[in-house]
Amino acid sequence: MGYAQLVIGPAGSGKSTYCSSLHQHCETVGRTIHIVNLDPAAENFDYPVAMDIRELISLDDVMEELGLGPNGGLIYCMEHLEENLDDWLSEELDNYLDDDYLVFDCPGQIELFSHVPVLKNFVEHLKRKNFNVCVVYLLDSQFITDVTKFISGCMASLSAMVQLELPHVNILSKMDLVRNKRDLEKYLNPEPTTLLAELNRRMAPQFEKLNKSLIELVDQYSMVSFLPLDLRKESSIQYILSQIDNCIQYGEDADVKIKDFDPDDD
């Protein structure tokens, strides 16, 4: 069985930086992971690229040959990837062993994980290839300055959760850039009643029923739980990784094998 993280989130939320830091951390602790670039518009990388969608198709070529803009061109590229899941992707995945760990660095266009079925079909293909997959959703902590933006971020993450139907780990990225972390503490594990009261204070009275429904929805799906990521701290990266590993059951097979073949049991 293989293991995979699907790293998604809005543009600029720090997905590639997360992948780079994760790779450096795993190198430090003697663990092997493989980073896959799924962004056809990417140019520079701070990590070794194990697989690259640009070997299949690139955004620059699509924009030049078809006259599409950046967003339309990117959707075209991802749909082309979808059409080549059984060919290009399967061929690339065959280069890895059953217990390899892949991290997919995805583009930031929200359409890809809200309503366009490309990533859903992509993860379904991974599951058919016997991969355990977890979605890692990054939200820029500097974006969370008030309750309305927090709810907006939760709704976008919930949209991805419903669309992809996978285990989900939500991360507040760029915590190392936040000057006053106390302002964000109430959003890391907030009380629904507190969120509702603050939301009602900021919005007109006619939205109170809508606010109540939104808060109940967020609370029902446990979307108010975000993990802070401070890339300056190895302990922060390790904690995030352990939560993801738990979601995809990474290492559990190894534990079973060790126990099954323990020489002390002979």
Q: Phi and psi dihedrals of 101, rounded to 5?
A: -120, 115
Q: Which string of b and e fits 207-225 if b means at least 16 CB within 10 Å?
A: eeeebeebbeebbeeebbe
Query: In DSSP terms, which residues pair with 173 in a beta bridge?
Result: 140
Tokens standing for residue 70: 């950046």
pTM to 2 decimals? Answer: 0.89
Q: What is the pLDDT of residue 17?
A: 94
Q: What is the pLDDT of residue 256?
A: 44
Q: What is the pLDDT of residue 97?
A: 80
CA distance 172 to 230: 9
Is 161 in contact with 177 (CB distance < 8 Å)?
no
164-102-40 Cα angle (round to 5): 70
Tokens standing for residue 148: 């309305």
Is 110 in contact with 8 (CB distance < 8 Å)?
no
Burial class of residue 114 in the structure, from the number of CB atoms within 10 Å of its CB (0-12 exposed, 13-18 middle, 19+ buried): middle
Q: Report the Cα–Cα distance between both ends of the chain, in Å, rounded.
A: 28
Q: What is the pLDDT of residue 260?
A: 45
CA distance 241 to 170: 12
The strands making up 101-105's β-sheet, listed across from edge to edge, are 49-52, 34-37, 101-105, 2-8, 131-140, 168-173, 227-228
8-11-14 Cα angle (round to 5): 70
Tokens standing for residue 196: 């509702």
Q: What is the pLDDT of residue 221?
A: 67
Q: What is the pLDDT along the chain (266 residues), one digit of tens a residue?
A: 899 999 999 988 999 999 999 999 999 999 999 999 999 999 889 999 999 999 999 999 999 999 999 999 999 999 999 999 999 999 999 998 888 999 999 999 888 888 889 999 999 999 999 999 999 999 998 878 788 888 888 888 888 988 999 999 999 999 988 887 777 877 887 788 888 999 999 999 999 999 999 988 888 766 657 899 999 999 999 999 999 999 999 977 654 443 443 445 44
3-class state of residue 108 by DSSP = coil
Per DSSP, helices labelled H in 97-180 are 118-128, 147-164
Q: What is the pLDDT of residue 257?
A: 44
Task: Count CB neighbours of 242 within 10 A.
Answer: 12
Residues 6+ apart with CB under 8 A from 214: 151, 155, 199
